Structure 1
Amino acid sequence: MLDTQGLNCPEPVMMLHQAIRKSQSGAVIKVLATDPSTTRDIPKFCMHLGHELVEQQVQEA
């Protein structure tokens, strides 16, 4: 699990990129984030680099 709560973009995306580099092929990384822009930035990041976004959930505060 990658906890990026309280951080603002681009930090969550950069941390996800590092986590992906360190993980094995096929690994699933759960990201917790509070920055609303991650709902846009992480899917774009995954699409751009060819990673599969398995699920995205948004919880209203």
Structure 2
Amino acid sequence: MSLQPDAILDASGLNCPEPVMMLHNKVRDLQAGGLLQVIATDPSTRRDIPKFCVFLGHELVEQREDAGQFLYWIRKKAD
């Protein structure tokens, strides 16, 4: 399944809490129902990004790990 994001956030090389702080700002700019892909290298995002989605009501559509990168697809909740 190919997930075509409306926006991409590359947080590679950043450590907690920066990826989630950047994610918060990026999601704000996305239209309701928009799909955001996040690319991160910090393993703590495996815990932090799912919690972020649950807390704010966004849908974590998919997450993968590929060659040291953590990939997330997040659908912004409807307003």
- Kindly indicate which of the two structures has a greater share of residues assigned to strand: 2
1:58 matches 2:65: yes
Match of 2:26 among 19, 22, 40: 19
Letter in 2 for 1:52: E
Match of 1:31 in 2: 38
Unaligned regions of 5+ residues in structure 1, if any? Answer: none
Greater relative contact order (CA < 8 Å, ≥ 6 in sequence): 1
**Which one-letter code corresponds to 1:35 in the other structure?**
D
- SS in structure 2 at match of 1:21: helix
Give 1:58 shift: 1.3
- Please report how far the alpha carbon of residue 60 of structure 1 lies from its aligned counterpart in structure 2 after TM superposition: 4.5
Counterpart check, 1:40 vs 2:28: no
Note the residue ranges of structure 2 that are not aligned, 5 or more in a row. 1-7, 69-79
Q: How many residues align?
A: 61
Q: Percent identity?
A: 64
* Inter-partner Cα distance in structure 1 for 2:59 and 2:28: 14
| Aligned CA-pair RMSD | 0.9
